[in-house]
Amino acid sequence: MGYLRGFAVTFAKMFEKRVTVPYPDAKRAKPERLHGRHVLNRYEDGMEKCIGCELCAGVCPANCIYVRGADNPVDDPVSPGERYGYVYEINYLRCIHCDLCVEACPTQAITETKLFEFSFTNRADAIYTKDELVVDAETGRPQHLPWEDWREGEDLATSGWMRATSPSGDATQVGRVAWSGELGYGVRSPEVGQSADREPGEGT
């Protein structure tokens, strides 16, 4: 009799609304500010935003970022500043996706996408180099590596955690969209509590 009751429960559940997602073919929607794989951004003219200041490496609590700057070539500069990021590596076996590197960056060079599902067949693949992190020079989109499971929209709103105030925290900057344009995306839309047309000093 117990078997019949078990089959009855199973048969009844077949007609109920499913609460699971057929992963990995379909995935739940991800929060806008999800911390995922990093990217190194470019300005709208194609120049790299990283100036090799090493602040991201200094603030990283997991010690997973290695940066070395170099002087910009006079005849063919890589970034608008005097220096650029010559070496840039992130060890994803250590990274905890705390996003402190994003907040520390003075030029908004490093941000995080929503991609968090990737696996490696060897330890070397887990150490992303600058060539893998910097966005495409033509489209401004993150590079899609063979071991990454990119889905539509995971590269959007990568500046979601960027502060809307100036680096010094000047209160007169509250309400202004403070991040600069990015290649392939333009200027980010204002977030909740921000206004694109508010003048400095207006509001609280």
pLDDT one-digit tens code per residue, 93-109: 999 998 889 888 888 89
User: Where in the chain are the domains?
Assistant: 36-184
In angstroms, the CA 107 to CA 111 distance is 11
Distance CA 140, CA 187 (A): 13
Q: How far apart are the first and last CA of the chain?
A: 69
Q: Which one of 19-23, 58-62, 99-103 scores highest in mean pLDDT? A: 58-62
When the candidates are 3.30.70.3270, 1.10.1740.110, 3.40.50.300, 3.40.47.10, the CATH number that belongs to 36-184 is 3.30.70.3270
pTM across the whole model: 0.77
The arithmetic mean of pLDDT across residues 76-99, rounded, is: 92
The whole-number pLDDT of residue 28 equals 81
| H and E: helices and strands count for the chain | 4, 5
Give whole-number Cα distances, 54 to 101, 113, 130, 144, in Å: 10, 21, 14, 25
Q: Among 123, 128, 37, 137, which Cα is nearest to 87's?
A: 128
Q: DSSP H helical segments within the chain, as ranges? A: 2-13, 55-59, 100-104, 130-133
Separation CA 34–CA 112 (nearest Å): 8
Q: Which of 64, 65, 33, 61 lies closest to 52 in space, CA to CA?
A: 65
Q: Among the listed ranges 29-33, 59-63, 133-137, 160-164, which one has the minimum average pLDDT value?
A: 160-164
pLDDT of residue 153: 85
**Tens of pLDDT, residues 160-199:** 555 544 444 455 656 666 667 889 888 776 655 555 555 5
What digits encode the pLDDT tens for the residues 105-158? 888 899 999 888 888 888 899 999 999 999 999 999 999 998 888 888 888 877
User: What is the three-class DSSP state of 4?
Assistant: helix
* Res 168: pLDDT: 46
Task: Report the pLDDT averaged over residues 61-73.
Answer: 94
